[in-house]
Amino acid sequence: MPERGPSAAPSHEPSPATASPAAPLTAARRTGLLVTFVLGGLTALAPLSMDMYLPALPEVTSALGSPAATIQLTLTSCLAGMALGQLVVGPMSDRWGRRRPLLAGMAVYVLATAICALAPSAELLIGFRLLQGLAGSAGIVIARAVVRDLYDGVEMARFFSTLMLISGAAPIIAPLIGGQVLRFADWRGVFVVLTAVGLALTLMVWRGLAETLPPGRRQTGGVGTALRTMRGLLADRVFAGYTLAGGFAFAVLFSYISASPFVVQEIYGASPQTFSLLFGLNSVGLIATGQVNGKLLVGRVSLDKVLACGIAVITTASVALLLMSSGAFGKVGLVPVAAALFVLMSAMGLVLPNTNAQALMRTPHAAGSASALLGTSSYLVGAVASPLVGIAGEQTAVPMALVQLSCSLLAAGCFLTMCRPWREREPMAVPADRAAP
């Protein structure tokens, strides 16, 4: 069946000169520094919520008298909330615009984070973290939708890489702040700081982010319409392939996020401050690679070729980690393990922005719903990976490495079998009542 999309001719990557029907703002407003900073802050919300809390995980385990696997569910619940919330907020933003759902979600996020600081038990903390994730999903999903409103083609891939300067800084700063907070307060102080960060970001959105989806381009209809839109997106093999490849790559990343506090601190004896520094160094690698992707590779090398290279590097690093953690090289210290984790994290700068850009290029008619599916797949797969990495206890890194290798192989399989990068593709079919004017 003939299909339509953002580019008139079948192409893997629409030309940057192609005028996007989804770009209502002028070039000056599109490239404004404040807009870039606000969008970067919104994309940084997830790593801020997760990573500032990571150095405190062992202390939370002791303070609340719960096993490590239970405390890791505080990560899983927040991640699951972010995944499920996007399925609701994404279609809402297609119908009512970007600003109102975003501001409502951010307000609830601030309240939920403040409540987390008061949680007296692991069970209540898990529940409040779920609410925090549900509310915080608004920032994540709408930020991607706004980028799709403003950009098209390789310019969108470049902008996603630019956002890594801000969102990528969050994993560097967050555990460092978390580690320092633990020197002066207990783990509850981390949530107090997160509450202040959420409040500041909410005010920035209120003052600095204009509506990017005009009323004439908003979708109509209720839940049934939203479900049909999502079903149509998932029926597109190429969109589904990029979505799944990005989701499994994110699971590799989140298995590292979930397991590394115990691997680095419990198995290799590092302090919370040393862990924070290593975590920050890995994030520097991700940022640097993301900038190489956006500034040097995008527009010169096919996005699919860059994506294939990134997946291959992640797979190789996962194999190395599995061999080291299983004792194939004898007893190894922290340095070689940290080096393999650095390579793995750095390669994410080639994978995550390009899977997002390639998937969203095909969906100018439903950017909010497409962003929701991208985010939900990533966060749900990550939520499943989180408890698996601790299934064998705190004394071995083998589960983490196995999860990482399995997910990287699945990402490669989805990319090769569904996206079929060696073949030309027809753009996605757009229903007549969804096509942008």
One-letter identity of residue 38 = V
Distance CA 344, CA 143 (A): 25
pLDDT of residue 54: 78
Q: What integer best gives the mean pLDDT of the chain?
A: 80
Model confidence pLDDT, tens digit, residues 331-360: 888 888 889 999 999 999 899 889 988 888
Instruction: Compute the CA torsion angle 382, 248, 108, 211 (nearest 10 deg).
Output: 170
* Per-residue pLDDT tens over the stretch 241-279: 999 999 999 889 888 877 887 788 888 777 777 887 888
- Based on its alpha-carbon atoms, the radius of gyration of the chain, rounded to whole angstroms, reads 21
- Are 372 and 82 in contact by the 8 Å Cβ rule? The answer is no
Q: Which residues contact 349 (CB under 8 A, 6 or more apart)?
A: 161, 164, 168, 285, 286, 287, 288, 289, 290, 291, 292, 293, 310
This prediction's pTM = 0.72
Query: Tens of pLDDT along the chain (437 residues)?
Result: 333 333 333 334 443 333 333 344 444 344 467 788 888 888 888 778 877 887 888 888 887 877 777 887 888 788 788 878 888 888 888 888 889 899 999 999 999 999 988 888 888 899 999 999 999 889 888 988 888 888 877 788 788 887 877 776 776 677 778 888 888 888 888 899 999 989 999 998 998 888 888 887 777 766 677 778 788 888 889 999 999 999 999 889 888 877 887 788 888 777 777 887 888 788 888 888 988 988 888 888 888 999 999 999 999 999 999 999 888 887 888 888 889 999 999 999 899 889 988 888 877 667 788 888 888 888 778 777 777 876 655 677 888 889 999 999 999 999 999 988 877 766 555 554 444 44
Task: Say how many C-beta atoms besides its own lie within 10 A of residue 326's C-beta.
Answer: 13
Reduced to 3 states, what is the DSSP secondary structure of residue 328? coil
What pLDDT, on a 0 to 100 scale, did the predictor assign at position 428?
57
The pLDDT of residue 267: 81
Which pLDDT score is estimated for 27? 40
